[in-house]
Chain A
């Protein structure tokens, strides 16, 4: 298990490329030119008296259709605060009905490559981590991140959403995507990033033999002539390089025995945050399995949503 001292001692070598901001400004500008084409259709089998469940979709980079689960409170009057949840690397995003009872909308995003969003892009697992990695413009995560950004656009397009009360969260890859999306979209009012992945790629590759980071090692071994280009690409996608651009309140949860996302790398991202922030360290916990984490995430979101309501950001 690493200690707090180990976290403090770790210094990442990751720095943003000079044109980092320009690159992402261009990505966002190009995304904005794509018609969102939001669609929703009710899913009666998953709906309850308290929560209406919808299959929702929208268009993202390359015109791909991205699927989501959209859960809307069936009781009470909107507009409602909303939580957008980003997925882990392997798991299929589930629908989140429990927030509906609290008067909160949830949107869980199946980024490209996930089951419901893979008809046109399906690099597989393993595979997603290294797909197109030779070129920053072809890398799979350019699309994945765009899909998350467009999820925010979807929420902004909905009349039942309180657009001043949009929060983001996710664990593992979802934690990394929470940091990245919060950096790219100022409409996000706060976020919770659990066990964040996508942080300090070069160091994580050296620290671990577990997947998904190890896919990068496999790639470097199979294509030694392209390893340098791979690392160049990853600088544009490292959550550490995004974290300093986040302005909203954030909470970051780190398991001190995490063998999938090294605690030091997650902490490096936390250190870059300049806005209000909370750090949750979980000793004797591994990746994604701190017993306290779900309650901490819920408490933080409830608290910040309540604060937004009190401060009158609710329309």
Chain B
């Protein structure tokens, strides 16, 4: 095993330990304002690895009192606001929209800046926020599983775009309860190609290196455990992956190809778009794909 592989395994092993040590402290409150006749909306609160208060929206079909419904967990993308998600899948599935620290509703003691979050505290592992953002995504899965409960747990499918795509893949690598992942233009954080991108958010890395040119090795080392390509070997569920040929800021098409090759069961779709990936045609395809993997087709 190389030192890089050891560092990778050590990061995830330590994270697993920290997640196990911190009580989830899951609580929910119904939101009567955003609930509608067809679905009931809850505000979900839980704790991150360091006790950081985290928040998610969850939507439950009103026609069912059965918690054993399939669940779709949408991981947060790179931005501050994540409101109540609307999708036709809300009719028949639990739909959860998670946030990570620094985003709205999870910003009690830290507000993420855009641009800026990607390199926040990157000079030391203890302060590098993105490591905790990934931990927060794992906590979102814990919270979702805590909600849907059951033994065996109902079907859990993850989805996300950009950062959310990378978080969904990372969670699929850790949780055997995850049955499928639909990831659009997953953020290539930790991949060596991230350092010379022209578009945000990855361009934050080039900005950082322009000011701290001697920090390239440290920057690559700090982010390496988050590289979706490195995580791919641990993901054995079906993955629907979309990338855009003109994407300069999230997932360059070559990274998408590398990622697809490393995933045992990947349906890679390459489109002419930029960071939006496949746009509407892919949204239609993805909705059908998610419905199938949620067992609702």
Q: A residues bordering B, Cβ < 8 Å?
A: 44-46, 48, 90-92, 94-95, 115, 124-126, 209-212, 214, 217-219, 221-222, 255, 257, 284-286, 288-291, 294
A-B contact pairs, 5 of them (CB 8 A): A90-B80, A91-B81, A115-B80, A126-B83, A291-B279
- Interface positions of B from 257 to 284, Cβ below 8 Å from A: 271-274, 276, 279-281, 283
Contact among B81, B111, B210, B271 with A48 in the assembled complex (CB-CB below 8 Å): B210
> Is there contact, CB below 8 Å, between A126 and B34?
yes
> Is there contact, CB below 8 Å, between A291 and B273?
yes
Contact among A212, A214, A222, A285 with B280 in the assembled complex (CB-CB below 8 Å): A285
Determine if B234 is an interface residue (Cβ-Cβ < 8 Å): no
The verdict on A126 contacting B84 (CB below 8 Å), with A45-B207, A92-B114 known, is yes
Tell me what chain B mostly uses at the interface: helix, strand, loop, or mixed: loop
11 more contacts with CB within 8 A, not counting A125-B83, A219-B33, are A45-B208, A46-B115, A46-B207, A90-B82, A95-B200, A115-B113, A211-B86, A212-B83, A218-B33, A218-B36, A291-B272
Chain B residues, Cβ within 8 Å of A214: 86
Report Cα–Cα, A288/B210, bound state, in Å. 32
Q: Which residue of A lies closest to B90 (CB)?
A: A209
Determine if B211 is an interface residue (Cβ-Cβ < 8 Å): yes
The verdict on A124 contacting B104 (CB below 8 Å), with A90-B81, A92-B114 known, is yes
Q: Encode B31-43 as 1/0 by CB contact (under 8 A) with A.
A: 0111010000000
Chain B residues, Cβ within 8 Å of A285: 279-280
Measured CB to CB, the closest approach of chain A to B215, in angstroms, equals 13
A-B complex: 4 closest residue pairs judged by Cβ atoms: A289-B279, A286-B280, A90-B81, A125-B81
> Is there contact, CB below 8 Å, between B280 and A255?
yes
The verdict on A290 contacting B86 (CB below 8 Å), with A94-B200, A126-B34, A218-B34 known, is no
Q: Which residue of A lies closest to B200 (CB)?
A: A94
Chain A residues, Cβ within 8 Å of B36: 209, 217-218, 221
Determine if B154 is an interface residue (Cβ-Cβ < 8 Å): no
Report Cα–Cα, A126/B273, bound state, in Å. 29
Measured CB to CB, the closest approach of chain B to A255, in angstroms, equals 7
Q: Which residue of A lies closest to B282 (CB)?
A: A289
Q: Encode B191-209 as 1/0 by CB contact (under 8 A) with A.
A: 0000000001000000110
Q: Which residue of B lies closest to A116 (CB)?
A: B113
Measured CB to CB, the closest approach of chain A to B244, in angstroms, equals 8
Report Cα–Cα, A285/B278, bound state, in Å. 10
> Is there contact, CB below 8 Å, between B32 and A284?
no
Contact among B32, B79, B81, B271 with A222 in the assembled complex (CB-CB below 8 Å): B32
Q: Which residue of B lies closest to A288 (CB)?
A: B276
Chain A residues, Cβ within 8 Å of B81: 90-92, 125
Chain B residues, Cβ within 8 Å of A217: 36
The verdict on A291 contacting B271 (CB below 8 Å), with A222-B32, A284-B280 known, is yes
Chain A residues, Cβ within 8 Å of B113: 115
Q: Which residue of B lies closest to A113 (CB)?
A: B81
Chain A residues, Cβ within 8 Å of B210: 45, 48
Measured CB to CB, the closest approach of chain A to B45, in angstroms, equals 16
Q: Which residue of A lies closest to B32 (CB)?
A: A222
The verdict on A294 contacting B274 (CB below 8 Å), with A46-B207, A92-B80, A255-B280 known, is yes
Q: Which residue of A lies closest to B206 (CB)?
A: A48
The verdict on A91 contacting B79 (CB below 8 Å), with A218-B36, A286-B279 known, is yes
Contact among A95, A218, A219 with B115 in the assembled complex (CB-CB below 8 Å): A95
Chain A residues, Cβ within 8 Å of B283: 286, 289
